[in-house]
């Protein structure tokens, strides 16, 4: 079984930088808010100078966590209207809630086994999920253009589940994926359509760190 690691941050699909068109006041200073091409960060401009601001969640004394960004999700689709890629959600570990979204391109040759990309989303380990609109659109495109099965891992996030729990979840997901080699396992998209001689890891930001760590563990 062959594994390969790639940071897919440079692959097209992320939203370009754009001016949000509104301003933010903080400590008597006025900033112009712009979008950065990272899902947990914004650019703010003051007097022509750009600065970056990471949006961290609020953690209250009662344990409640409030995230200001990275909470929007979209359902899977039996067939994306632009790419024809189908997607579905699976639960990997009911005890921890570890889950994933799977993508399968529109079949061209029913007898052909496809490469597999195991993808880990970004978000500084604190925001975003595998079910976010940006990842749905991005991975539909990747699955279609690469003609590959994609497993997008929804690992648990901090601060409720501090690092390295995200790494532990991701390793459990990798082992779950591998359990389908040799015609084994219950998930048919992996068992019946994947060429386990061509398995790749990818991710952006925090997810790229996870992908790198998973590749090291596999050896």
Q: What is the mean pLDDT of residues 80-107?
A: 97
Write out the two tokens for 129.
């999920």
Determine the pLDDT at residue 55: 58
Residue 108 pLDDT more than 70?
Answer: yes
Average pLDDT, the chain: 82
Domain 3-12+71-218 in this protein, CATH class? alpha beta
Q: How many other C-beta atoms are found inside a 10 Å radius of the C-beta of residue 9?
A: 15
Q: CA-to-CA distance for 124 and 134, rounded, in angstroms? A: 16
**Contact of 114 with 189, CB cutoff 8 Å:** no
pLDDT band, very low/low/confident/very high, at 56 (cuts 50, 70, 90): low
Determine the pLDDT at residue 13: 37
Determine the pLDDT at residue 18: 41
Determine the pLDDT at residue 110: 80
Determine the pLDDT at residue 6: 41
Q: Which is more confidently placed, 134 or 54? A: 134
Domain locations in the chain as residue ranges: 3-12+71-218, 18-66
- Burial label for 55, CB within 10 Å (0-12, 13-18, 19+), is middle
Q: Which of 63-77, 84-98, 196-210 has the lowest mean pLDDT?
A: 63-77
Q: What is the mean pLDDT of residues 191-205?
A: 96
The string of DSSP codes covering 149-201 is EEEEEE---TTTS-TTHHHHHHHHHHHHHHTTGGG-SS-HHHHHHEEEEEEEE
DSSP letter assigned to residue 57: P
Q: What is the mean pLDDT of residues 156-182?
A: 96
Q: What is the mean pLDDT of residues 3-20?
A: 39
């Amino acid at each position: 079984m062959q594994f390969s690691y790639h940071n897919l941050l440079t692959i097209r699909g992320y939203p370009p930088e754009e001016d949000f068109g509104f301003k933010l006041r903080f400590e008597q200073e006025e900033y112009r808010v712009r979008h950065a091409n990272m899902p947990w960060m914004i650019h703010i401009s003051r007097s022509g100078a750009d600065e970056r601001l990471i949006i961290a969640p609020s953690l209250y004394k009662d344990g409640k966590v409030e995230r200001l960004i990275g909470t929007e999700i979209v359902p899977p689709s039996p067939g994306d209207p632009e790419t024809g890629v189908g997607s579905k959600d699976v639960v990997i570990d009911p005890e921890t809630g570890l889950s994933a979204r799977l993508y399968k391109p529109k079949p061209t040759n029913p007898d052909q086994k496809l490469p597999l990309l195991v993808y880990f989303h970004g978000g500084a380990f604190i925001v975003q999920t595998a079910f976010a609109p940006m990842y749905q659109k991005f991975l539909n495109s990747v699955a279609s253009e690469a003609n590959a099965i994609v497993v997008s891992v929804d690992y648990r996030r901090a601060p409720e589940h501090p690092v390295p729990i995200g790494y532990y979840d991701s390793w459990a997901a990798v082992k779950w994926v591998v359990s389908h080699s040799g015609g084994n396992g219950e998930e048919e998209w992996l068992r019946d359509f994947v060429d386990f001689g061509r398995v790749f890891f990818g991710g952006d930001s925090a997810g790229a760190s996870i992908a790198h760590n998973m590749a090291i563990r596999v050896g």
